[in-house]
Structure formats: structure tokens, C-alpha cells
Amino acid sequence: MTIFSVQSTIFTRASVAILSSNGLNRFSFASSFSSSPLPKTKKRRFPIVSAVDIGGVTVARNDVVRDDDPTNNVPDSIFSKLGMQLHRRDKHPIGILKNAIYDYFDSNYAKQFEKFEDLSPIVTTKQNFDDVLVPADHVSRSLNDTYYVDSQTVLRCHTSAHQAELLREGHRRFLVTGDVYRRDSIDSTHYPVFHQMEGFCVFSPGDWNESGKDSTLYAAEDLKKCLEGLASHLFGGVEMRWVDTYFPFTEPSFELEIYFKEDWLEVLGCGVTEQRILKQSGLENNVAWAFGLGLERLAMVLFDIPDIRLFWSDDERFTSQFKKGELGVKFKPFSKYPPCYKDISFWISESFTENNFCEVVRGIAGDLVEEVKLIDSFTNKKGMTSHCYRIVFRSMERSLTDEEVNDLQSKVRDEVQRKLNVELR
């Protein structure tokens, strides 16, 4: 399915066969974005990785980072993450959480759900959008929100991108876990790469006929029972509530919230699958449910991890705190190095978007950027609008020098003016 949350979920699977034959293959409910062309943000201070391994297939940099394609907006910093697959590391918080969810399904639905976790994140726009009923004019298709390899190929925005392909291959109950990619803002809970899990379950007429219930009601009740059990498995005896919501691929649609640490926390999105999705896979006489959850969102809560950048750290002070099978070990913060604040002001153009600005900053400073925040905006008598952003530079591993930060800020100013069609103040 396609969905859901803190970096939500949606459902996907790229074909390694396509990937190996033409160099590649290729939603989520993301924040809104502009339809303006995206300025390029390539080649920065990062070491250039020439190739990555994805599911046993070697993918060359030139197949994904293309200077000659005007629709391509994948920077080297993103390409280098394609083969890392944190969800497959048993001693990493993301992998520990994934395995805890596997344990729940193995214990309560023995051998019923197949598991897929090495599907290529490079998928077609059809897989990522069309197959999960994302409208042609939906903002999530914008270059401002999605990483495009070319006009027909993207880095998946959600694991729902594999849903249709798996159904056509005959799979009826499955869990899909993987890394997903979205251009986004910069702060402690947002990162351009994160991990999702989708669950999908198909029922036959015999299942609901025996219950004497309407097919949709049957599927919705089964879905809620399953996910309430999962929430209890992960969080213990917490209070829960269901909230009606809307997703284009499910009807009815729900969000599950739990009362955790004196606040309501959204855990996941889910619903009964739209019949059109089943019909296009030859399952028009069936009914199904689907759910999606963001692993980072839940892991930050369960492990008390304060900054999403930490998931990508190789610092032994972070990695040594976690062990295979130990869910919910509380992260012990190590020395927090001082932040460095730098402001930048400029007159914006009609094509300016904040996501594009953040991508430029991230392309230059990478994980040395802790936050980018709009602190002032005004429009003068001539109708020109000015934005002032505060950039917080902070390393999680060392103190940054004034010289280093000044150099980064200087490069940000140069690139913002050159690439985003703005006038510095």
C-alpha cells in the first residue's frame, strides 16, 4: 500500500531483471511541492562512489547520477546511500525493530507472510505512482519532492512501489521492507533516506462468507486486530485509538495512534485496499488490507534516539550501544558538540522552493547540517519577497572549526545564488 507517516509509507518493488538489463529500474504521501524545474545539486564535497551493490546487482554511478539528463536530480550524497540497507543490519536499531516486527508475524501468523527486504529502490514512475493510484497531478510527482533518475525512473518514495508487481507474481500475504527516498526539509526528524515496512494481505470469498460479514468489514476488522497486536508487541500495554483518514489507495482508511509518554503518537497508516488495485492484478473477486509504517519514526521513540542523522553514524559510541534482538535499549547520549549558527538572506524568485534550498545546503555540508529554519520573511512595496534562513551546523562526532563553518557557509551562498535564481542580501 502506499502510505503513511513520519516519513510515511506507500508500497513498492523494483525489478532486478529490468535493473540489470537497462542499467536500472524505478510515493508516499509527501509534503506538497512546486512543479517548477529543479536546479541541479550534484558534485559536492562528498567522496564520489563509483558503484553500489543493490540486491546482488552492481549499479554504476553514471546510471543514476546523470549530468546529461535535465530531469535527473540525484546527488552523489544520495547515490552513496543506495547499497547501505540499514534494515538488514541485525545490530542496528532499524534492523532490530524490523526483526521484532518479523517476530510478531512469525508468532501469530506462522509462515503466512512472505518477507521481501532486498528489492531494488530504483523503480519506474508507473510502479511508484500509477500502480498505487497516485493522481497524475499529485504534488508527490514533482521534482521538488522525488528523486528522479530520468523522466520515467525514480528512487522509490515508499515500499508500496512493489505492491502491484508482487501481486502479479502470485504473492498474497507479504511484508516489504526497504530504504526509501524523499527530498525534504532538514531537522532532527527528517532525512532524505529512511526506511519503511509495508504489509499486505489478500482474502478470498470463502474467508468472509464463512464469517457472515461484508467483505470490507471483514478485512477492516482483521486489519485492526492484527495491528493492535503489533502495537502491543512493540510498546506493551498501551492505550490505542483509531482515526479515520484518507489515502487514495485504500477505502476505508485509518491511522493507529497510541498513548505513549503522555502524548498520542501516530504509529502507522492502513486501510482496505481499493478494488481497482486488486482488479488490475487479476484479483477483482478478492478483498485485501494494507498497512505502512516508518521504521525511523518508531525506532526514535523506542530507543530514545534524538537525531535521525545518528542512524547513519559509524561512530562506535553509537553503534556499540545496540545488540541483536534487544528492542528498546535506551540510547545514552555522548558528548554533544557545540552548534554553529549561520544566517543567509535573499530575495526569492517565483520558482523558489524550500526543498530545493535544503537540497543545496545538504549537498554542500551533508550530515554536518543539523537544521535549516526559516526565521524571517517579508515582502517589500515592490512585491519582492525576502527569506532569511538560519543554518545550524553541528557534527555528532567532533567540534567544527570557525574556518570550516565559514567555508561551508561561503559555498552555500555561492551555490544558492547560482542554482536557485535568487538575489543575496
Per-position DSSP letters for 253-266, written without gaps between them: EEEEEEEETTEEEE
Q: How far apart are CA 406 and CA 131, in angstroms?
A: 47
Share of the chain above pLDDT 90, in %: 79
Tell me: pLDDT of 112 over 80.
Answer: yes
Is pLDDT larger for residue 39 or for residue 122? 122
pLDDT averaged over every residue in the chain: 88
- Among 28, 294, 21, 8, CA closest to 156: 28
pLDDT the model gives residue 54: 84
Facing residues of 34 across strands? none
Per-position DSSP letters for 18-80, written without gaps between them: HHHHHS------------SPPPP----SSPPP-EEEETTEEEEHHHHS-TT-TT----HHHHT
Counts for the chain of helices (H) and strands (E), in that order: 13, 19
Tell me: pLDDT of 227 over 80.
Answer: yes
- Among 31, 11, 34, 25, CA closest to 55: 25
Tell me: pLDDT of 176 over 60.
Answer: yes
pLDDT band at 266 (very low <50, low <70, confident <90, very high): very high
If you average pLDDT over residues 45-70, what whole number do you get?
Answer: 84
For residue 139, give every residue at least 6 positions away whose Cβ sits within 8 Å of its Cβ, in sequence order, or none: 30, 31, 32, 33, 145
Of 36-40, 283-287, 410-414, the least confident: 36-40
For residue 280, give every residue at least 6 positions away whose Cβ sits within 8 Å of its Cβ, in sequence order, or none: 131, 164
Tell me: pLDDT of 26 over 90.
Answer: no
For 264-267, the CB contacts below 8 A with 24+ separation are 265/301, 266/5, 266/6, 267/5, 267/227, 267/231, 267/293, 267/298
Superfamily, domain 340-424 = Ferrodoxin-fold anticodon-binding domain (3.30.70.380)
Facing residues of 114 across strands? 174
CATH number of 51-320: 3.30.930.10
Q: Which three cell numbers stand for residue 214?
A: 461484508
User: Locate cell 512493540: which residue?
Assistant: 234
Q: How far apart are CA 267 and CA 256, in angstroms?
A: 6
**What residue ranges of the chain are covered by domains with CATH 3.30.70.380?**
340-424
* pLDDT, tens digit (0-9, with 9 covering 90-100), for 362-394: 999 999 999 999 999 999 999 999 999 999 999
Q: CA angle 30-32-33, nearest 5°?
A: 115
**What residue ranges of the chain are covered by domains with CATH 3.30.930.10?**
51-320
Query: Are the beta carbons of 295 and 77 closer than 8 angstroms?
Result: no
If you average pLDDT over residues 351-356, what whole number do you get?
Answer: 93
Tell me: pLDDT of 66 over 50.
Answer: yes
pLDDT band at 47 (very low <50, low <70, confident <90, very high): low
Helix (H) or strand (E) holding 11: strand 9-12
pLDDT the model gives residue 48: 74
pLDDT the model gives residue 211: 86
Is pLDDT larger for residue 17 or for residue 232? 232
Q: How far apart are CA 275 and CA 269, in angstroms?
A: 18
Of 17-21, 88-92, 414-418, the least confident: 17-21
pLDDT band at 320 (very low <50, low <70, confident <90, very high): very high
Query: Are the beta carbons of 291 and 275 closer than 8 angstroms?
Result: no
